[in-house]
Chain A
């Protein structure tokens, strides 16, 4: 059946004015699925079609994957079902399996938990999944298979020699299917993994190696430690082999040398998470992907500005011990046989670090007493006197000329202020030395 199904795709297909040829090499083109070595790929698709109805496929959900194709993905994936007269097939032998090239466990790719839906609108006997290129986020990883998952579908499919035709009534409806030979069998089990069937790869995915986002540090932030955590998201189609980070001092406009500055990356969607040491200052981080062999840069250079301040407490203790809220988080160290120190730390924090509620009680009590006698008299008096200022609207205006004010009274005022502060300092000194505790 798998071989027969394979024959469907040995037909050149013309779509959008392009002719796609086919190859059978492992570097691209048609990949035969080998259940022994798990080389190849499969397709993950949802079909919502009723059994026995006619029409055309309005829409379906599609995912796809590849394996052993280096770092390339798939751009076009085409189903070819040239036989339109497939309305009476009753075969129920449908096998859709998942294989992970790494650990052979079942999994499938999806755009999160929501399948990506493509509106087809083609005639019932031919359709293409050209929409795949419009959804670049559905990247097909080269290191794993993807599962065809069809839940609760009634198969009106091929009997092994006649290709299936997907048909619908123009609206979504349920197509039931199941795995294995038993029409009442269990859906989506991994027991039959290894019996997937191949599909045709038409084009290799060729866009856009480069940095997609600098997740951390975020623009304008201040990191309270000299160890800056840098997180960069990028896509690598295989063109690049390193992510290069540049750091520039925004004050001196000089580049700050960081070691290392090149970080090896694999293919596909990659997140690079590294720590770099920087002294206190204001910096610009630039990130770009490179190919160290050819010296070529790929993608745009993304940049972000951020500041670094040195928090000694954070460096030593891991939290800011002057901040009560932060102090509470001290007791988060893992306590295990490999980290006995963490156990002692957790114990000391539990024993001596007070909870925030302990202080909140006193604040509440203060609020209750502040307006009660005798404290209330002093509090109200202090609040009232705090309203005494010399910047409110004047009760009267003493007439004078501006030049007299600027030439005489302003310097006189400045001089008197100085004298007042000096007298206050002398008084404070004499008062302090006369204190008897």
Chain B
């Protein structure tokens, strides 16, 4: 009950804040982007015979994930610090 109430309050706040965003149209990615990714994949597959492209992409994925999470954390902390009375 208590947890339900807290989660509901958080949901209300988030819904209120994001309500203008939900009125916007969906974002669509240019089809050329997907084509370029597929083409790049074919070139990477060709090189994969000699160079560890699979490992490179895996490491790149870890790197992007870590940096994204850290950036998200910094962003949230920045937003929280903007709240009055919070240092």
Asked whether B18 lies within 8 Å of A351 as measured between CB atoms, the reply is: no
Asked whether A373 lies within 8 Å of B46 as measured between CB atoms, the reply is: no
- Closest chain B residue to A376 by CB distance? B27
- Measured as residues with beta carbon below 8 angstroms from the partner, the interface class of chain B is 35 or more
Residues of B within 8 A of A119 (CB): none
Complex interface: stretch among A122-130, A198-206, A355-363: A355-363
**Quick one: which of A355, A380, A409, A414 contacts B4, CB cutoff 8 A?**
A355
Asked whether A390 lies within 8 Å of B37 as measured between CB atoms, the reply is: no
Residues of B within 8 A of A392 (CB): 38, 41-42, 45
Asked whether A424 lies within 8 Å of B70 as measured between CB atoms, the reply is: no
Asked whether A354 lies within 8 Å of B4 as measured between CB atoms, the reply is: yes
Nearest CB of A to B41, in Å: 4
With A365-B11, A384-B33: A405-B3 Cβ-Cβ less than 8 Å: no
With A405-B49, A409-B50, A421-B59: A358-B42 Cβ-Cβ less than 8 Å: no
A219 at the interface (CB under 8 A from B): no
Asked whether A353 lies within 8 Å of B45 as measured between CB atoms, the reply is: no
B80 at the interface (CB under 8 A from A): no
CB neighbors of A among B19-39 (8 A) = 21-22, 24-29, 33-34, 37-39
Nearest CB of B to A368, in Å: 6
A257 at the interface (CB under 8 A from B): no
Q: Roughly how many angstroms separate A352 CA and B53 CA in the complex, as a whole number?
A: 49
Asked whether A390 lies within 8 Å of B44 as measured between CB atoms, the reply is: yes
Q: Roughly how many angstroms separate A397 CA and B49 CA in the complex, as a whole number?
A: 9
- Digit string of A409-437 for contact with B (CB within 8 Å is 1, else 0)? 10011101100110010011001000101
A394 at the interface (CB under 8 A from B): yes
Q: Roughly how many angstroms separate A427 CA and B67 CA in the complex, as a whole number?
A: 12
A293 at the interface (CB under 8 A from B): no
Nearest CB of B to A375, in Å: 8
- Closest chain B residue to A368 by CB distance? B22
Residues of B within 8 A of A353 (CB): 3
- Digit string of A386-404 for contact with B (CB within 8 Å is 1, else 0)? 0111111111111010000
Nearest CB of B to A88, in Å: 77
With A354-B3, A373-B24, A420-B59: A395-B50 Cβ-Cβ less than 8 Å: no
- Closest chain A residue to B77 by CB distance? A437
Residues of B within 8 A of A358 (CB): 3-4, 7-8, 11
Residues of A within 8 A of B21 (CB): 369, 372-373, 375
Residues of A within 8 A of B3 (CB): 351-354, 358
Residues of B within 8 A of A416 (CB): 51-52, 55
Query: Which B residues lie at the A interface, using CB under 8 A?
Result: 1-4, 7-8, 11, 14-15, 18, 21-22, 24-29, 33-34, 37-57, 59, 62-64, 66, 70, 77
Q: Which 10 A-B pairs give the minimum distances between C-beta atoms?
A: A376-B27, A395-B42, A394-B46, A390-B53, A417-B55, A417-B52, A371-B26, A394-B45, A390-B48, A380-B29
- Extra contacts, 10 of them, besides A381-B29, A394-B43 (Cβ < 8 A), are A361-B8, A362-B14, A369-B22, A375-B21, A390-B54, A392-B42, A394-B42, A400-B49, A412-B50, A427-B63
